[in-house]
Structure 1
Amino acid sequence: MTTTTPYTSEERKNRIFAIVGASSGNLVEWFDFYVYAFCAIYFAPAFFPSDDPTVQLLNTAGVFAAGFLMRPIGGWLFGRVADKHGRKNSMMISVLMMCGGSLIIACLPTYASIGALAPALLLLARLLQGLSVGGEYGTTATYMSEVAMRGQRGFLGSFQYVTLIGGQLLAVLTVVILQQFLSTEELKAYGWRIPFVVGAIAAVISLFLRRSLKETTSKETRQDKDAGSMAALFRNHKAAFITVLGYTAGGSLIFYTFTTYMQKFLVNTGGMNAKTASYVMTGALFVYMCMQPLFGMLADRIGRRNSMMLFGGLGTLCTVPLLMTLKTTTDPFMAFLLITLALAIVSFYTSISGLVKAEMFPPQIRALGVGLSYAVANAAFGGSAEYVALSLKAQGVENNFYWYVTVMMAVAFLFSLRLPKQPAYLHHDH
């Protein structure tokens, strides 16, 4: 049954506040997660002295484990919490856990003070952050899709990626500002701790915002015998789970190719100056962030299934030409235009990705269905994008990577065809 009762102004205000509260935490989560990557060059020597091979192994194992293993576990754990105990509780726990991870890193004694315990604690903090960020996506996507207003779901849901990219940009910006005021020595001595303190404080603010959010699930839904159950998910919704896996694999892969990997690609393959490449990417990411609401509004007009098909289709046709051209371009402005074009194609997906996934599952296992399928596909295809690209480059067959992305985009297109014209869940108001 579709209800079309207009929203009261009070209701609209509450729903918009809920979107702000949910996405504020998302911004903080991703800021904290990315700050680690951007500051690593400054704090690595403090934790991983090069003359100790065990410590270096801990280092590589830690980065690997934190990034990959924890995300699917976080997707499962927080999805289960959100379905059984409410979205709000899950979002508060995840932002608190991120705050804890950042605070630990900010206050950690170095290797010089406590020996091998320092990198072990750093690894622990990073595992906490990986777990938290793995759970954040599914719960936020679910909550935002449930609270967004009819007819504006694409537009309001797009703020999940606005804040995800915003977190990345703020992390870069924080490091750039610190570089203006502190010397490299100061940054290595203590400066790298500042962004983690900022992240922890921001997480506390977000926690207060999230505390005042309204819960979107009912008591009956939470007490349903299938709530947050992995068995129920695979018994009744295997097809939906596989569909989400199918287009998230391509979506994550192309997202990481044109965001995190692109900077290295411009330097290593295109021969661009590292600083210039940073400027190009910062500009492109800013434009990409601003594009999300526009593509979300477009999806509200043309339908989410059509947006997803445009994403898969254009991605299949344009990936190889775009990367082949980027490979040979030395003009920063040209590179910026090409990357922005690629990110516009990706926006057909990212602006509504959380929403499209949430519409595939009923409320009692929605957060688990969204969180787990996203985390698995993201860890397998998104997280490995850089590794695959660099390995193929080292073997002298870099072009194979462009075709790999193209094939995954074709797969995303085929899975988009499986999307229902009218979603079974969420197209009406609760």
Structure 2
Amino acid sequence: MSATHSQPTRQAPSTDQAKAPNRVRAIMGACSGNLVEWYDFFIYAYTAIYFAASFFPKGDTTSQLLATAGVFAVGFFMRPLGGWIFGWIADTRGRKVSMIISVFMMCAGSLLIAIMPTYETIGVAAPVMLVIARLIQGLSVGAEYGTGATYISEIATPGRRCFYGSFQYFTIIAGQLLALMTVVILQQTLTSEELRDWGWRIPFFIGALSSIVVVYLRRAMHETASQKDMKRKDAGSLRGMFKHKRAVALVVAFTIGGSLYFYTFTTYMQKFLVISAGFSPETVSFIMTAALVGFMFCQPLFGLLADRVGIKAHMLMFSGLALLLVIPLLYALQTVSSPFTAFLLVFGGLAIASLYTPIAGIVKAELFPPAVRALGVGFPYAVGNAAFGGTAEYVALSLRAQGVEEYFFFYVAAVVTITFIAAMLMPNLSRYGYISGSGEVEERTGLKCYAKTQAARI
């Protein structure tokens, strides 16, 4: 029996769900958790310079920072496991349950770091506990994306899904900026010695306390998964997910290009502007903060645009423009001398990313039926994100060390080409998606279907 007939073909929200008066509050609950989780995840990176010496043996600062960076990476690569475990929970126990547990886990990780004894006090147990805390947080972040994207796509008003979905990346960026602002405020109010002694713990306490507010908001959220779907034989299982092979392939293809491009113009760009363009770290911080603020406010605007022109058109515009312009943009940034010009170039790159980020979760949710939707969105995304987004900086710096930095520009373009091909092969989700259409994703994805569509247009 085909996957299409073994699963319901599309989401069938109840009348109560479709008319839920608490829809806005529910989306706020989903997005506020996203903000707090990303604040907690990135505050580690921003405060590492202050607490590195507290958790690792005495030695040179570089080795201590490398150790903390390694622990940060451990958290990053726990995301696929989090996407798998919490995708199963969301598909078999409910989206609401999964999101509440994920916030509790992030709270636990932050609180553990905040109260953790130092290496001087408990020896090697200190770095071990730090790794455990980051493992917990990595699982939590891996859980948040897939379940959050699934929930927003199911609770959002038809015709406004991309607009509501845009707030997922809006809050991801806001969480990063909030973490950065928290550190800046502490730097202005405490001395360097106070920050190294105890001040670095404050942001982690803030993150843990903020999670309590998110739990309160999420307790009032409307559950979107039906009992019928949660009790299906293949609900939340990898076996059930892989019945939708083409959908899984599309998620991976969209993720590797979207994530690599996103991390190139966000996290790696901060180092690229220093080591390649020659700007001071302070100038780069100003450029990137301004660009990220602009990028954040682009999310709802481009989400509204996507609701008008369609998800497929948006994916084609993103991947097509990224393919054509990423190499010229990176070459220009490599030699730019004006901070204002650098800002315009970075913001231009992020504006292209804004064609992808508001619909990133919605496009993936449309590809799967309810019984495996959270797993189908979260797990392939986490794998692709870890493999290409998480390694973006490593690949770029490795190529630079070999004297062929420009190869990275072509590497990004090559990966985005895969995303462009996938966007061409993807069916029109407003007609064939599982939420908005007939649920014929598997039948309508592929070269033959693309050729038929083009022939019909002619």
Residue in 1 aligned with 2:165? 157
Residue in 2 aligned with 1:207? 215
Contact 2:18 2:157 in 1 (8 A): no
- Output the CA distance in 2 between the equivalents of 1:54 and 1:179: 23
- Output the CA distance in 2 between the equivalents of 1:263 and 1:249: 21
Distance change in 2, residues 1:73/1:207 (3 Å): same
- Output the CA distance in 1 between the equivalents of 2:305 and 2:180: 29
1:187-211 alpha-carbon deviations (Å, 9 max, x no partner): 1111110100000011111011001
* Equivalent of residue 73 in structure 2, options 51, 64, 69: 64
- Output the CA distance in 2 between the equivalents of 1:42 and 1:354: 35
TM-score, reference length from structure 1: 0.95
Distance change in 2, residues 1:59/1:335 (3 Å): closer
Residue in 2 aligned with 1:48? 56
* Equivalent of residue 247 in structure 2, options 240, 245, 252: 240
Letter in 2 for 1:260: T
Give 1:302 shift. Answer: 0.5
Pairs within 5 Å for 1:248-259: 248-259=255-266
1:275-311 alpha-carbon deviations (Å, 9 max, x no partner): 1100110110010000000111000111000000000
Residue in 1 aligned with 2:449? none
Pairs within 5 Å for 1:17-416: 17-51=25-59, 59=68, 61-68=70-77, 70-234=78-242, 236-416=243-423
- Output the CA distance in 2 between the equivalents of 1:59 and 1:194: 18
Gaps of 5+ in 2: 1-8, 440-458
Letter in 2 for 1:210: R
Letter in 2 for 1:45: A
1:168-219 alpha-carbon deviations (Å, 9 max, x no partner): 1100110111111111111111111010000001111101100110100111
Give 1:2 shift. Answer: 10
Gaps of 5+ in 1: none
1:360-403 alpha-carbon deviations (Å, 9 max, x no partner): 00000000000001100000000000000000001000000000
Distance change in 2, residues 1:222/1:55 (3 Å): same
Over the aligned positions, Cα root-mean-square deviation in angstroms equals 2.3
Range moving further from structure 2, 191-200 or 7-16: 7-16
Give 1:11 shift. Answer: 3.2
Aligned partner of residue 253 in structure 2, secondary structure: helix
Aligned partner of residue 154 in structure 2, secondary structure: helix
Contact 2:52 2:65 in 1 (8 A): no
Percent of aligned pairs with the same amino acid = 54
Letter in 1 for 2:205: V
Contact 2:17 2:155 in 1 (8 A): no
Contact 1:58 1:119 in 2 (8 A): no
Give 1:63 shift. Answer: 3.2
Pairs within 5 Å for 1:410-425: 410-421=417-428, 422-425=431-434
Distance change in 2, residues 1:55/1:303 (3 Å): closer
Range moving further from structure 2, 179-188 or 101-110: 179-188
TM-score, reference length from structure 2: 0.89
Distance change in 2, residues 1:283/1:59 (3 Å): closer
Aligned partner of residue 351 in structure 1, secondary structure: helix
Give 1:332 shift. Answer: 1.1
Give 1:233 shift. Answer: 1.2
Contact 1:299 1:307 in 2 (8 A): yes
- Output the CA distance in 1 between the equivalents of 2:244 and 2:18: 36
Give 1:56 shift. Answer: 8.6
How many aligned residue pairs are there? Answer: 427
Residue in 1 aligned with 2:23? 15
Contact 2:10 2:434 in 1 (8 A): no
Give 1:428 shift. Answer: 5.5
Aligned partner of residue 271 in structure 2, secondary structure: helix
Distance change in 2, residues 1:345/1:61 (3 Å): closer
Give 1:227 shift. Answer: 0.5
- Output the CA distance in 2 between the equivalents of 1:57 and 1:115: 19
- Output the CA distance in 1 between the equivalents of 2:295 and 2:432: 27
Give 1:48 shift. Answer: 1.5
Q: Is residue 2:415 matched to residue 1:426?
A: no
